[in-house]
Amino acid sequence: MGLPFILLNYKTYLQGTGQGAVEIAKACKEVSEGSGIEIAVAPQLPDIYRVASEVEIPVFSQHLDGIGAGSFTGHVFGKAIKEAGAIGTLINHSERRLTLAEIEASLKAAKEFGLKTVICTNNVPTTAAAAALGPDYVAIEPPELIGSGIPVSKADPEVVSGSVEAVAKIDPAVKVLCGAGISKGEDLRAALDLGSQGVLLASGIVKAADPKAALEELISLI
């Protein structure tokens, strides 16, 4: 298997807001260039343009609505995030849940503008259902472990390996990311050993005193 894909979700952490979003992206870029591992970032919506303009790094949106141009005040329009510099988007994060119909609409909107898609799921059945929609990635994240510091790869390895197996049967082109509680090198190593092709993580890096050092520790066992 090749090198993993790492997607860093800034959420609305203060450390990843405004200029902080740029500084964390710079740290990600340095570690990516030094290791050859692809690292992407998902800053808050108002920071997408800032980060994409100042740092040469893949930028994802944290959310996308399944709407087009028109009377949709307060929604997130695919063309807007694409023009801001995003190359992809998260869909259905556990902190921004969507119905199945909304997930399908968001996925369609993302594909219309050539955006990569990561559908977040919380168990094997929802992962299988998400894979059937044909996203680029599914990210398995049991919500009770998000931000806990307890990696899903240790707390519930079967949900990772089961998701990998389910996705392979439905659409082998869809890649599986492992999320929830990932912060250390052993967590990433375990996630990869369970068959995932990368990780979706947040607080362990964004809130670290030294994000670059935290990233270097994360990839230390690759």
Cα–Cα separations (whole angstroms), residue 104 to 18, 27, 32, 98, 99: 31, 34, 32, 9, 9
Quickly count: other Cβ atoms within 10 Å of residue 72's Cβ: 12
Q: Which residues are annotated as a binding site for substrate?
A: 9-11, 146, 181, 202-203
Tell me the two tokens of residue 6: 């790492």
What are the DSSP calls for 96-152, one per residue? Answer: S---HHHHHHHHHHHHHTT-EEEEEESSHHHHHHHHTT--SEEEE--GGGTTSS--H
Catalytic residue numbers, as ranges: 93, 141
- φ, ψ of residue 166 in degrees (nearest 5): -65, -45
Nearest residue to 129 (alpha-carbon basis) of 164, 167, 162, 168 = 167
